[in-house]
Copies of this chain bind each other. A is one copy, B any other.
């Protein structure tokens, strides 16, 4: 049993997750969330995405693509979001299982053909495949880590958003 796990294993506030889970079990409507961001164009291929009160996320393109190469580009930001999401999944599920994380690093890469973005061909302008390699050093048997790995992948919000078709509506105001 792992019920005597302290709230601070892996510095994760697993009790907060537990409270949210109980609140949603009591009132399923509380699971419905809406998240937001606002992007401001700054000239050239530069823009910044504002989320709540945080420092904006800057964006640019490499010079070869017509940008000024001052920040990660949007498709790199997408890989970043996936990796950050998987990290939360491992931290949450390993902590819930009472397993200490010693180190966690995730390498991500995705393949993208530029023909469609550049208007040279119809088809898929996006990633044709995305791969993530998880380097996890944690205090448990490989079989247990593999089991948790499966759970993380099968419950990842960004992972599911990428691997499933999401209805996307873009309106000109």
Interface residues of A (CB under 8 A from B): 10-14, 16-17, 20-21, 24-25, 28, 30-41, 43-45, 47-49, 51-52, 54, 57, 59, 61, 63-68, 71-92, 101, 103-120, 124-136, 145-146, 149, 151-173
Contact = CB atoms under 8 A, between A and B. Distances in A.
Q: How many copies does the complex hold?
A: 2
A33 to B, nearest CB: 5
A161 B105 contact: no
A89 to B, nearest CB: 8
Contacts of A124: 160, 164
A64 B18 CA distance: 10
A151 B65 contact: no
A107 B40 CA distance: 9
Contacts of A125: 154-157, 159-160
B65 A20 contact: yes
Nearest to A63: B16
Contacts of A75: 35, 81, 85, 157-158, 161
Contacts of A82: 74, 168
17 contacts: A13-B67, A17-B65, A34-B112, A39-B87, A41-B103, A45-B91, A51-B79, A54-B72, A73-B88, A74-B157, A75-B161, A125-B160, A126-B160, A131-B169, A131-B170, A132-B169, A134-B170
A79 to B, nearest CB: 4
Contacts of A91: 41, 44-45
